[in-house]
A and B are shown apart, each in its own frame.
Chain A
Amino acid sequence: DVKVTQSSRYLVKRTGEKVFLECVQDMDHENMFWYRQDPGLGLRLIYFSYDVKMKEKGDIPEGYSVSREKKERFSLILESASTNQTSMYLCASSLSRGLPSEQYFGPGTRLTVT
């Protein structure tokens, strides 16, 4: 079974802090994604990566950056956390580029910025 893990289930940070959210997948997937999910707004794509060191902006990249130094790990960085970044963050992975394949999600990180 594909397993996607996220470093924290719950996180509380202060405004202005730098925040790192980590995601690891164990199935050698090429694609990895970061979404945020908010009531009434659904799932929105922040960033995605098709390969190591490769990243593309999604629909709402402002205030975020990402890092993918190894194939299995995709990190989301909030450079200076703000209260409007309080949300549920979901990481996902899928098998290969050039072919839309099944997405597998991690358990999510509930981030609260105070």
Chain B
Amino acid sequence: KQEVTQIPAALSVPEGENLVLNCSFTDSAIYNLQWFRQDPGKGLTSLLLIQSSQREQTSGRLNASLDKSSGRSTLYIAASQPGDSATYLCAVPTDSWGKFQFGAGTQVVVTP
């Protein structure tokens, strides 16, 4: 069974620092990997979807890398801002129909 782990569970950085968020998965035969952001009491917002054939995917200040062989993905957020404070979750498909297994998330606080 696919297991997804996000370490650390929480992270606090001063404004301007780069954020590095980690996601590990046990079964490397994944089709893609998705990163989400969740604000308190809200739904999940899709940030990036990285396909298994890609090594990186970029959107603005966000960059996601994928290393299938080692079962890891990293989300980089450049020049963090207080508005980046949220919980970040990663998810990988568990079958070809589109069910996903989610990590528990990393709660990020960016202090001014």
Max chain B Cβ within 10 angstroms of own Cβ: one of A4, A43, A94? A43
Q: Mark B74-112, 1 if CB is under 8 A from A, else 0.
A: 000000000000000101010111111011110000000
- CB pair A98–B97 under 8 Å, yes or no, is yes
Using a Cβ–Cβ cut-off of 8 Å, how many residues does chain B contribute to the interface with A?
A: 24
CB B57 to nearest CB in A, in angstroms, measures 12
- CB pair B102–A42 under 8 Å, yes or no, is yes
Per the bound structure, the CA–CA distance linking A48 and B101 in Å amounts to 13
CB B68 to nearest CB in A, in angstroms, measures 14
- CB pair A100–B96 under 8 Å, yes or no, is yes
Report A-chain residues with C-beta under 8 Å of the C-beta of B89.
43
The contact of B43 among A33, A45, A100, A107, by CB within 8 Å, is A107
Report A-chain residues with C-beta under 8 Å of the C-beta of B41.
88, 108, 110
CB B66 to nearest CB in A, in angstroms, measures 14
The contact of A100 among B93, B103, B105, by CB within 8 Å, is B93
- CB pair B104–A42 under 8 Å, yes or no, is yes
Report A-chain residues with C-beta under 8 Å of the C-beta of B93.
100
Whether A50 touches B97, Cβ cut-off 8 Å, given contacts A100-B32, A103-B34, A108-B42, is yes
- With both beta carbons as reference points, the residue of chain B lying nearest to A88 in the complex is identified as B41
Residue A12 CB within 8 A of the other chain: no
- CB pair A94–B42 under 8 Å, yes or no, is no
- CB pair A45–B99 under 8 Å, yes or no, is yes
Q: Mark B39-66, 1 if CB is under 8 A from A, else 0.
A: 0011111100100000000000000000
Please report A residues at the B interface, Cβ cutoff 8 Å.
4, 31, 33, 42-43, 45, 48, 50, 58, 88, 90, 92, 94, 96-108, 110
11 contacts between A and B (CB under 8 A): A4-B43, A42-B103, A43-B102, A45-B99, A48-B98, A48-B99, A99-B98, A100-B32, A100-B97, A103-B98, A108-B42
